[in-house]
Amino acid sequence: MVSIRLRHATALVPILAACALAAPGAAWAQAPRQLTAADYQRAQRLLDANVTPLVLGPAVRPAWLPGDRFTYRTTVERGTEFVLVDVARRTRGPAFDHAAIAAALSRATGAGHDPYRLPFRTFTFVRDGAAISFRAAGKVWECDVAGKACRAAEPAAAARAGGQRIQPVPQESVSPDGRSAVFIRNDNLWLREVATGAERALTSDGVKDFGYATDNAGWTRSDRPVVLWSPDSKKIATFQQDQRQVGEMYLVSTKVGHPELEAWKYPLPGDAHVPMIHRVVIHVDGPRVVRLKVPPDPHRGTVTDDIKDEEGRLDDVRWAADSSALAFVSSSRDHKQATLRVADPETGEVRDVLEEKVDTFFESGNDRSNWHFLPDSGEAIWFSQRDDWGHLYLYDLVSGKPKRQITSGPWNVAQVLKVDEKARALYFVGVGREKGRDPYYRHFYRVGFDGGDVTLLTPEDADHQVSLSTSGGFFVDAYSTPVTPPVSVVRDLSGKVVMPLEKADTTRLQAIGWKPPIPFTVKVRDGMTDLYGLMFRPTDFDEAKRYPVINNIYPGPQAGSIRSRGFLPAHGDAQALAELGFIVVQIDAMGTPWRSKSFHAAYYGDMGDNGLPDQVAGMKELAARHPWIDIDRAGIWGHSGGGFASAAAMFHYPDFFKVGVSQAGNHDNRGYEDDWAEKWQGLLVAKPDGSSNYDGQANQNFAKNLKGKLLLAHGTMDNNVPPYLTLLVVDELIKANKDFDLIMLPNRGHAFGNEPYMMRRRWDHFVKHLMGAEPPRPIEFPAPFRP
């Protein structure tokens, strides 16, 4: 049912409302309301680019320096400034002379620069802290901290080999001592001496599709070498990746004349061959390559669908502190088996320590691998969800047997940030332990190797983002909730606050009418377990009106719809979309992480579920609770996995979801990267009748059920989720003679979702088909806004 929503109260309002309630078809017969450019502009002012600068003193994100010092960038009345903090001295002040730097940079570039709107977001201290280096206007600049002069840094001299000019390689991994850097050239690993620029090859037998340290298959392609330097900077743990028989993906550019073909290795579920990594240790002196005596592993990790960590280093690998031994985890192709192994980097001998097998998928943590190698004490710390919760276990390295469970209870260890072997203590981020609080709030804890009490170091009832100092003796704690602005402090390892940093001021934000989202809980599909969500209402919300409801979904399995439990001035365009006259909800359904393992694995092997039964149940519960939610006008939208889920919602719940927008959806995971799909759906199993265990997750198989208004969108050069997956759905919609809208964005990759055109079309789609109103024409999008 679509009712007419008038901006100004008139005598017709009760008449029209009564007609709408009595005869649903009558509402459609009325002339649609015309939204104006002013309506859209009011919504646009709530987008991230407009509201984030209105928060003064936002959450601190420190860049740690040696000696318990750090810098951070913050928002002040005049713009932004860079701050330097010395924890040992308890001092806080400008990182450099902003006015002098702006003046010097203006002289050097010939363009004016505002001291509090400098053209860079990050910088590095160089020349022992006497100068800063940053990138601006396509160049690397160096300015002394007093601002006397700025100059464009000289490009590194090009090396020559065999008479051929060799261009500098920007993607490098620098050794711990800072003296060497390694990079990939012609499928081999090369070393560059930082001081002299001299280069030499560390390997020579790398060939096309069987190169060293490569990360160039699937959607996570990078030119940066995937390595882990030993602490003494003399050895490198890496691999030679064999993808010679791996299938390829193809994309074609849109241009005048002949298009350009992009082709690269992209394995798919069910392929006979996937990238295999042959583990090696490279001794820099010599050089010498030691091959570990173990069969090659499939390109798999214990946390994400990649084998590098967030810093780009080889993950699931640990060096002993004295560089004498190397530990690593081998994961099976289906992610159901993980084996901890220890290797001798001199001989390549490998010994299995422990093995864990699960029925669904094994993970060693939510955000990072949480296992640790402790050869000095002959122990290992292992992460497991064997009791349905993510906890730490202490193992004997020799026998491979567990010594004790370190943490326990109905909550999860999320990230181990510090292992203090001398004190036999662990410092970690956990979720769900504090009773009566949102189970997604992160807190920081200490616990001994030998078990015992877990000590809470961040007591406030909020989500805590923690960053440890380089020495590990202090940490920055920025805590907030979706409705309370952040407070940032420095604490010592007892949890004591030693320095205040920032307390966010939202006065300017509230002055434009901004209001925070409303947290809520609803029940899962079985009516037993709580689900957590956020609700966004128009800032001029009126309880006497009835609003269409839009579900902004990301179904998991590696994340949920709500990307942060901390304070955000904007959650994507959720509040902006609500401002047009909608209720927007985000719900973390079953199948998403950070709850129990059974909660996370709820639809393992059945990805077509997408948590949709929980989304529908939750939305109905909200509507029963709030009469101003018009559940008969329900919409849904999402991007990537959310695009997959939103299209599935329109096909599997055609009588509930009336309008949907599906962007960049992985609609059939047989056409998506093998690692991700096989982890959550399982290995592809073909049946004698030609069907497979992947049929139920393929959206095109259910496209014939469409009843509502669906907008599909995809970038034609999306090298993450190939555009062909949306075209599979399009083909079946055409066969079923269904009306739908389609936008193919030429030469766009995966991240087109917040482009102005796409956002405007998304808003228009819901305004027209869910609200029954007419979008404004013409309109500048996004319109500039200044408070």
Closest to 709 (Cα-Cα) out of 764, 770, 664, 756: 770
pLDDT at residue 168 is higher than 50: no
**First-to-last CA distance in the chain?**
37
CA–CA dist 343, 292 (Å, integer): 7
The pLDDT tens digits of the residues spanning 20-33 come to 333 333 333 345 68
Closest to 695 (Cα-Cα) out of 728, 721, 665, 734: 728
pLDDT at residue 374 is higher than 90: yes
Q: Which two tokens stand for residue 257?
A: 């004349």
Closest to 528 (Cα-Cα) out of 432, 430, 452, 596: 596
Per-residue pLDDT, 666: 98
Per-residue pLDDT, 7: 32
Closest to 570 (Cα-Cα) out of 39, 42, 45, 47: 47
**Domains of the chain listed by start with CATH number:** 12-27+35-44+517-771 (3.40.50.1820), 55-152 (no CATH)
- In the three-class reduction of DSSP (H, G, I as helix; E, B as strand; rest coil), residue 726 is classed as helix
pLDDT at residue 309 is higher than 50: yes
Per-residue pLDDT, 784: 53
CA–CA dist 379, 373 (Å, integer): 7
Per-residue pLDDT, 312: 84
pLDDT at residue 17 is higher than 60: no
Bridge partners, residue 91, by sequence: 86
CA–CA dist 658, 664 (Å, integer): 20
The pLDDT tens digits of the residues spanning 82-119 come to 999 999 999 999 999 999 999 999 999 989 999 999 99
CA–CA dist 376, 106 (Å, integer): 55
The pLDDT tens digits of the residues spanning 202-239 come to 999 999 999 999 999 888 888 899 999 999 999 999 99
pLDDT at residue 58 is higher than 90: yes
Given pLDDT bands bounded at 50, 70 and 90, which one contains residue 783? low
Q: What is the pLDDT averaged over residues 178-185?
A: 96
The pLDDT tens digits of the residues spanning 107-165 come to 999 899 999 999 999 999 998 899 999 998 888 999 999 989 999 976 543 333 333 33
Q: What is the DSSP string of 239-267?
A: EEEE-TT--EEEEE---SSSPPEEEEE--
Given pLDDT bands bounded at 50, 70 and 90, which one contains residue 766? very high
Given pLDDT bands bounded at 50, 70 and 90, which one contains residue 2? very low
CA distances from 653 to 17, 636, 657, 727 (A): 27, 11, 6, 21
Given pLDDT bands bounded at 50, 70 and 90, which one contains residue 192? very high
Q: What is the pLDDT averaged over residues 535-549?
A: 97
Per-residue pLDDT, 14: 35
CA–CA dist 582, 769 (Å, integer): 12
- In the three-class reduction of DSSP (H, G, I as helix; E, B as strand; rest coil), residue 15 is classed as helix
The enclosing H or E element of 724 equals helix 724-735
Q: Is the pTM of this model over 0.85?
A: yes
CA–CA dist 482, 566 (Å, integer): 5
Torsion of CA 39, 41, 45, 48, to 10 degrees: 100
Per-residue pLDDT, 563: 87
The pLDDT tens digits of the residues spanning 611-631 come to 999 999 999 999 999 999 999
Burial of residue 544 (number of CB atoms within 10 Å: 0-12, 13-18, 19+):
exposed
In this structure, are residues 529 and 589 in contact, taking their beta carbons and an 8 Å threshold?
no
Per-residue pLDDT, 155: 53
Per-residue pLDDT, 781: 78
Closest to 673 (Cα-Cα) out of 220, 210, 209, 211: 220
Given pLDDT bands bounded at 50, 70 and 90, which one contains residue 308? confident
Per-residue pLDDT, 33: 80
Lowest mean pLDDT among 10-14, 213-217, 600-604, 760-764: 10-14
Per-residue pLDDT, 305: 74
Q: Which two tokens stand for residue 428?
A: 């970690």
Q: What is the DSSP string of 490-544?
A: EEETTS-EEEEEEE-B-HHHHHTT----EEEEEE-TTS-SEEEEEEE--TT--TT
Per-residue pLDDT, 32: 64
Per-residue pLDDT, 23: 37
Torsion of CA 462, 467, 471, 472, to 10 degrees: 40
The pLDDT tens digits of the residues spanning 283-305 come to 999 999 999 999 999 999 998 77
Of 554 and 9, more confident: 554
Per-residue pLDDT, 306: 80
pLDDT at residue 656 is higher than 70: yes
User: pLDDT averaged over the chain?
Assistant: 92
Q: What is the pLDDT averaged over residues 745-771?
A: 96
